[in-house]
Amino acid sequence: MADSLILEVANLEHDVLTGIYSEETGRPQPLRITVQVQLKVPPRFDPDTPLSASKNYMDLKFAATEALPSGVHFKLIESVADHICDTLFVQDDRVEAVTVKIVKLAISEAGEEIGMTLTRIRR
């Protein structure tokens, strides 16, 4: 089994234009987004290892928030997840896989998490 490094930014809340029903279209919906990135790793992380040997967590946050195009309506939250994956693959060749979990907060009635998880592997 090969070494791997998983970086994670969990439970970001961000409003995104998404949905297929008339009550969903035309206004942003609150989503809770968790992003995990699997990176190629060096043989060791010594105490003086520079950040360039890993990845800045803020890149994950950016992909799930600011990198989503404003004014674009995503019919499916799966397409939101795909956009996040694409952004992270373009950002860094060391990204081997991306997992995005999205929960639609507006449709929760009793605190349940309704959503999906998508994992894409670099091809």
27: CATH: 3.30.1130.10
Section 22-30 average pLDDT = 84
Task: Tell me what pLDDT residue 76 has.
Answer: 96
Considering its fold, how many domains does the chain have in total? Answer: 1
| pLDDT above 90 for 92 | yes
Task: Tell me what pLDDT residue 27 has.
Answer: 86
Confidence of residue 24 (pLDDT cuts 50, 70, 90): confident
| pLDDT above 80 for 22 | no
| pLDDT above 90 for 108 | no
Who's near 6: CB < 8 A, 6+ residues apart? 36, 37, 38, 39
Section 91-117 average pLDDT = 93
Question: What does the pLDDT look like over 51-85, one tens digit per residue?
Answer: 888 999 999 999 999 999 999 999 999 999 999 99
User: What global pTM score does this model have?
Assistant: 0.93
Residue 100 CA to residue 36 CA, distance in Å, equals 6
**Whether 33 contacts 62, CB under 8 Å:** no
As given in the structure block, the two tokens for residue 29 are: 């919906």
Burial of 27 (0-12, 13-18, 19+ CB in 10 A): exposed
Task: Tell me what pLDDT residue 21 has.
Answer: 81
Residue 63 CA to residue 42 CA, distance in Å, equals 24
The residue range of the domain holding 82 is: 5-121
